Structure 1
Amino acid sequence: MTNNEVQTDTGSKTRQLLGMKGAASGETNIWKIRLQLMKPITWIPLIWGVVCGAASSGGYVWGLEDLLKAFTCMLLSGPLMAGYTQTLNDFYDREIDAINEPYRPIPSGAISVPQVVTQILVLLLSGLGISYLLDLWAGHEFPSMLCLTLLGAFLAYIYSAPPLKLKQNGWLGNYALGSSYIALPWCAGHALFGQLNWTIVWLTLFYSLAGLGIAVVNDFKSVEGDRQLGLKSLPVMFGVGTAAWICVLMIDLFQGGVALYLITIGQNLYATILLLLVIPQITFQDMYFLRDPLKNDVKYQASAQPFLVLGMLVVGLALGHSTL
């Protein structure tokens, strides 16, 4: 085997383990297969959302106890609940994955359906248990962490499972996904270290409309399979070109809307930084995504999303320094 073949094989196995596009079948280790189902690459935004929520609470203190609380909340939001969501989604997407991504564990036959169901239940029950323990640890009179986890589990179910299967609707499905990746972990981090209030809830739900745009990016890799199975993703409904413009406009405009809100509460410096972080996103949208969204979706995400997530932290810090 040549060096190039070795590098290609290694890269393929890494993508497979992380749950990324472009993997290959053939893995036999059951624990690696289970990890692949949980798509570790998707944990990062939720973990980051917890960080933003802790920042916006204004109550996080650099010390061992708060660090352990934050780490436990990241474990809840990322490996457990995101892992539950992704495994559940793969379970209900067996048919479409057989078309779009036949190397995935279930359509490839690498793991049985009963094993998948067991994994879903273990992840869900573990998440509910840890969320309740976090409520006790934080001294909450109302179990806000448990309620947020239940809400996340419910959204994950109706997103993937019939009869609702929100992912069949490009608008509802992508907003459910965007809010799960921004609003829910943000509210969890805020509730753990501060007092969750309606201002934070509504602001993060508004911010999630930018997350809807990010979620649409993931639809371009499965246009053909979605069309065959009648799923109404935005690229299927509006065509690839129009959907790409809808995607980038939502990403940019709703970040701009959050910046305007920061100005109204006197956080002008943070608002300026947020707007400056939107500029490179627009640049990469023009360089990659708008020119060929089918080819450059992954390249665009790798280039532009770091600026979006940095903007989220900027907003969190701004809220933490305000009177919210």
Structure 2
Amino acid sequence: MNIYIVGLNQISDIEIDKVNKPYLPLASGEYSVTTGVVIVLSFAVLSFWLGWLVGSWPLFWALFISFILGTAYSINVPLLRWKRFAVVAAMCIFAVRAVIVQIAFYLHVQMHVYGRPAVLTKPVIFATAFMSFFSVVIALFKDIPDIVGDKIYGIRSFTVRLGQERVFWICISLLEMAYAVALLVGAMSSCTWSKWTTVIGHTLLGLLLWDRAKSIDFKSKASITSFYMFIWKLFYAEYLLIPLVR
């Protein structure tokens, strides 16, 4: 489903990507539009087929809602292409990354795999709250390297409106707030090993983020893009700490 969503976005943004990301397969001409459409449709059908085959309603609804939001975000038809609207675009990413991925997949394992009641645990609640910060940051930060193309094609992102540097430091502030909250959650744990692991882990990640942020070069698109990929590394690193929350 993620391949469908990302692929559809590339099909819809070929002209923009020729400016912002000319190395992508469609923008560079490596793939034809027909090839792109076949790939995207194949993975959409495959994801729904697998979801139906598994027979898990939480998993199926996660796929379905992701499909609807991903399509509405990118496809260029009347009333859709929500990426044109900064707040709506951010809400789409927030809904999928922060809420659906955390809760729906947890319910899939809890209810379908283990056959247990749908009770939300502390780690799941923490994960949803923490990833809410990250999802907002990803929604904001992804447009920082793409300011030139977005301006040309009328995408009114927050970066176009506020500028790269201002949006960058908003993102850093939100992430550091998330790590500060994670520190408090860890410090309040009654489990000693969980307390020290989560406090030390989030402290190190927060310091690493701050140290990397100070070296950013706003005149270099490569530097900004590299930092964006670094944020994704922090995003996935958090999944190593979430199971340790008690």
TM-score normalized by the length of structure 2:
0.79
- Flag the 1:224–1:128 CA change in 2: closer, same or farther, 3 A: same
Per-residue deviation, 1:307:
4.0
**Contact 2:47/2:63 (<8 A) preserved:** yes
* Counterpart check, 1:115 vs 2:43: no
Give, in whole Å, the separation in 1 of the partners of 2:29 and 2:229. 30
Per-residue deviation, 1:302:
5.0
Larger deviation, residues 123-132 vs 309-318: 309-318
Give, in whole Å, the separation in 2 of the partners of 1:203 and 1:108. 38
Matching residue of 2:59: 145
List aligned pairs for 1:16-31, cutoff 5 A: none
Per-residue deviation, 1:293:
6.7
Identity %, equivalent residues: 20
Q: Name the aligned partner's letter for residue 90 of structure 2.
A: N
TM-score normalized by the length of structure 1:
0.62
Higher relative contact order (CA 8 A, sep 6+): 1
1:101 pairs, out of 21, 27, 41, with 21
Matching residue of 1:234: 158
Matching residue of 1:279: 207
The unaligned stretches of length 5 or more in structure 2 are 112-117
**Contact 1:207/1:258 (<8 A) preserved:** no
Give, in whole Å, the separation in 2 of the partners of 1:107 and 1:309. 28
Per-residue deviation, 1:169:
2.6
The unaligned stretches of length 5 or more in structure 1 are 1-80
Per-residue displacement from partner, 1:204-229 (whole Å, max 9, x unpaired)? 15523223213433212211110111
2:84 pairs, out of 168, 181, 184, with 168
Larger deviation, residues 105-114 vs 248-257: 105-114
Per-residue deviation, 1:105:
3.3
List aligned pairs for 1:1-324, cutoff 5 A: 81-135=1-55, 140=56, 143-162=57-76, 163-195=79-111, 197=119, 200=124, 203-204=127-128, 206-264=130-188, 266=190, 268-272=195-199, 273-288=201-216, 294-303=221-230, 305-318=232-245, 322=246
Residue-pair matches, total: 232
**Contact 2:102/2:127 (<8 A) preserved:** no
Q: Name the aligned partner's letter for residue 149 of structure 1.
A: L
Q: For the aligned residues, what is the CA RMSD?
A: 2.9
Larger deviation, residues 235-244 vs 94-103: 94-103
- Flag the 1:99–1:186 CA change in 2: closer, same or farther, 3 A: same
Give, in whole Å, the separation in 1 of the partners of 2:130 and 2:103. 13
**Contact 2:145/2:225 (<8 A) preserved:** no
- Flag the 1:245–1:176 CA change in 2: closer, same or farther, 3 A: same
